[in-house]
């Protein structure tokens, strides 16, 4: 799952550009998710979810006919991880989030930074220019980098990889841990696994689960196993 942010100051055409990028990505056969940065509260105090919040709920989730939203302190990485595991989208287009380390299209020249792949006048782009922009998005955007600094991508660390992607020097390279078969997180921190531990965990956990009668619960094959240990 790759991430592209469209960032800019007010009234610079961000939403229009986001919708054009979504349409072009969908036209190319990709499954797309979006995430909008909201500066205002979604909840009026007299709404149902507003009342939940006022009553003291830390996190309120609203699931509507078409849109899932949360109110409360949820880190963007957590939301992106949810999108990745729940919906398996190919691209997430962010609207806003100008200070985050994802590949970025800027609609305001003064917001250009080290993650900007292109600055555009969003209100003047024609269709061909949007297509070229989406070519760039395909080549230069990247997903959630786990910061393992494992060098499997051929770069010395994750920061080098990210900057090479943004600058177009790693168009055919992806973060290798993105597709790793075994991932371990402890207290939300990703922990790198050496081959011995990785294979040991996989074989031990799979072996134990096979001894359980998972077929009685309708599970014949294991595509993905999640195990949570709370202390
Ligand atoms: S493969 Fe991924 S985690 Fe490893 S150094 Fe490259 S970017 Fe970082």
Cβ burial of 185 (10 Å; 0-12, 13-18, 19+) is exposed
Lookup: tokens for 211: 């001894």
Choose the residue to mutate in 101, 102, 147, 161 for probing ligand 1, maximizing ligand atoms within 8 Å of C-beta. 161
Position in ligand 1 atom list of the atom nearest CA 178: 2
Q: What is the mean pLDDT of residues 153-170?
A: 95
Mean pLDDT to the nearest integer, 149-162: 91
Res. 2 pLDDT band, cuts 50 70 90: very high
Secondary structure (DSSP) of 53-96: HHTT-S-EEEE-SS-EEEES---HHHHHHHHHHHH--SEEEEES
Where exactly does CATH 3.40.50.300 map onto the chain?
2-144
Q: Give strand pairing partners of 92.
A: 3, 33
Positive/negative CA dihedral, 96, 97, 99, 105: negative
191-197: Cβ within 8 A, 24+ apart: 192/148, 192/150
Q: What CA–CA distance (Å, rounded) separates 43 from 41? A: 5
| Residue 43 pLDDT exceeds 70 | no
Measuring CA to CA, which residue among 149, 158, 144 is closest to residue 75? 144
Q: How far is the CA of 178 from the centre of ligand 1 (A)?
A: 8
Nearest atom of ligand 1 to the alpha carbon of 148: 3
Looking at residue 196, what is its pLDDT? 86
Q: pLDDT digit string (tens) for 110-153?
A: 989 999 999 999 999 999 999 999 999 999 999 988 777 888 89
| DSSP codes of every residue in 136-189 | HHHHH-B---------TTSSSSHHHHHHHHHHTS-TT---GGGG-S--EEETTE
Residue 72 banded pLDDT, cuts 50, 70, 90: low
pLDDT over 70 percentage in the chain? 92
Q: Does the pTM exceed 0.95?
A: no
pLDDT of residue 42: 64
> What's the mean pLDDT in 192-200?
83
Nearest-CA residue for ligand 1 atom 4 is 150
Ligand 1 atom nearest the C-alpha of 154 is: 6
The three-class DSSP label of residue 4 is strand
CATH, domain 2-144, list 3.40.190.10, 3.40.50.300, 3.40.50.150, 3.40.50.360: 3.40.50.300
CA of 121 to the centre of ligand 1 (A): 33
| 190 pLDDT above the threshold of 80 | no
Handedness of CA 53, 59, 63, 69 (dihedral sign): positive
**Tens-digit pLDDT profile for residues 7-40:** 999 999 999 999 999 999 999 999 999 988 776 6
Classify strands 60-63 and 68-71 as parallel, antiparallel or unpaired. antiparallel
At 73 the pLDDT is: 63
Indicate the top mutation candidate among 146, 159, 163, 185 to test ligand 1's pocket, ranked by most ligand atoms within 8 A of CB: 146
**pLDDT value at residue 122:** 94
pLDDT at 184 over 90: no
């Amino acid at each position: 799952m790759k991430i592209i942010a469209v960032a800019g100051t007010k009234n610079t055409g961000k939403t229009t550009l986001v919708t054009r990028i979504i349409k072009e990505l969908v036209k190319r056969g990709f499954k797309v998710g979006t995430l909008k940065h909201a500066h205002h509260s979604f909840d009026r105090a007299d709404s149902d979810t507003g009342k939940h919040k006022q009553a003291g709920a830390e996190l309120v989730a609203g699931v509507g006919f078409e849109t899932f939203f949360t109110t409360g302190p949820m880190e963007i990485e957590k939301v992106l991880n949810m999108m990745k595991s729940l919906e398996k989208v190919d691209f997430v287009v962010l609207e806003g989030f100008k200070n985050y380390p994802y590949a970025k299209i800027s609609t305001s020249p003064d917001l250009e930074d080290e993650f900007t792949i292109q600055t555009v006048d969003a209100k003047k782009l024609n269709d061909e220019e949007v297509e070229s922009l989406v070519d760039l998005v395909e080549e230069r955007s990247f997903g959630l980098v786990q910061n393992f600094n494992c060098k499997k991508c051929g770069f010395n660390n994750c920061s080098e990889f990210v900057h090479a992607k943004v600058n177009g020097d790693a168009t055919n390279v992806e973060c290798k841990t993105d597709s790793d078969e075994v991932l371990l997180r402890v207290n939300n921190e990703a922990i790198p696994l050496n081959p011995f531990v990785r294979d040991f965990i996989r074989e031990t956990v799979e072996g134990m689960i096979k001894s359980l009668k998972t077929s009685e619960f309708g599970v014949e094959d294991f595509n993905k196993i999640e195990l949570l240990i709370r202390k």
